[in-house]
Structure 1
Amino acid sequence: MITLTDSATDQLKKIIEEENDSTLGLRVFVAGGGCSGFQYQMVLENEIRDGDEITELNGVKLYVDSFSQKYIDGAEIDFVNSLMGGGFTVHNPNAVSSCGCGSSFDTADGAGKASSRSCACS
């Protein structure tokens, strides 16, 4: 199961309120690519798909597909403000390596290896 920090929950609630659509939830998934193999992806949506694990945490719905679940189970999503701006970050206990900015990762079994190795960090 994925968890949200209070900071991430607060930020998501603000964004959903700004969108004026209380049916929205956060879809969290992984996609091949990045310099470490997989990339974290997040999008607001209200579409439930076959095989989704649906969790509601402090009023925020999370949708995770079955493929992504095995790579991000136990992860924590946080929202961090810094001098360079704010953004969501994922703390993933399944990741054994990641790129410098933490937007892509690899797992112990190397399942995250992808043919394209362009890093999302700039």
Structure 2
Amino acid sequence: MSVDSTGDGETTPRIEVTEEAAERALDLLKGEDMDVDEAGLRLYVQQGGCAGLSYGMRFDTDPDEDDTIYEHHGLRIFVDPASMKYIEGSVLDYESGLQADGFTVENPNVVSECGCGESFRT
């Protein structure tokens, strides 16, 4: 298990999390009665969508041995090695708007997205 909580990013690939995204995720964790010191947000990539790949997120309390764990603004993020190759360098954010509120991933590896923005290709 690789841990990156120093913020220097020199030894492990980076995933950034904005303060707004961390606050929203921590609020949701607390609403699920999960221990924020033990639990975290798993960010992963799965096959699916019209462009081929899509993001997934879920709360997790048991990171795998080969996960990379990031900590930003008090939130732990778990990323498996298969997903890391697609999302390295990404920024997890939370956006509020007139039509929807939700988490977004700004991914520098994306070369195209489907029209609805739900899936991507790298």
Would you call these one fold, judging by a TM-score over 0.5? yes
Which runs of 4 or more aligned residues in structure 1 lie more than 6 Å from their structure 2 counterparts after TM superposition?
Answer: none
Give, in angstroms, the shift of residue 82 of structure 1.
1.1
How many residues matched?
A: 107
Give, in angstroms, the shift of residue 102 of structure 1.
2.4
Counterpart contact for 1:26–1:63, Cα < 8 Å? yes
Alpha-carbon separation, structure 1, partners of 2:113 and 2:65: 29
Which residue, 10, 15, 24 being the options, matches 2:28? 15
Question: Matched residues, percent identical?
Answer: 40
Instruction: Structure 1: state its 5+ residue gaps.
Output: 108-122
Task: Give matches, 1:85-96, under 5 Å.
Answer: 85-96=100-111
Say whether residues 1:58 and 2:57 are aligned partners.
no
The corresponding residue for 1:81 is 96
Matched residue type, 2:76: K
Give, in angstroms, the shift of residue 42 of structure 1.
0.4
Counterpart contact for 1:79–1:87, Cα < 8 Å? yes
The corresponding residue for 1:112 is none
Alpha-carbon separation, structure 1, partners of 2:106 and 2:118: 10
Instruction: Structure 2: state its 5+ residue gaps.
Output: 1-13
TM-score, reference length from structure 2: 0.83
TM-score, reference length from structure 1: 0.83
Say whether residues 1:106 and 2:121 are aligned partners.
yes
Give, in angstroms, the shift of residue 33 of structure 1.
1.3
More strand by share: 1
Which whole-Å deviations, capped at 9, do the CAs of 1:34-90 have from their partners, x for residues lacking one?
111100000011111131001111110000000000100000111111112311111
Q: What's the RMSD between the two structures over aligned residues? A: 1.1
Say whether residues 1:71 and 2:82 are aligned partners.
no
Alpha-carbon separation, structure 2, partners of 1:79 and 1:35: 24
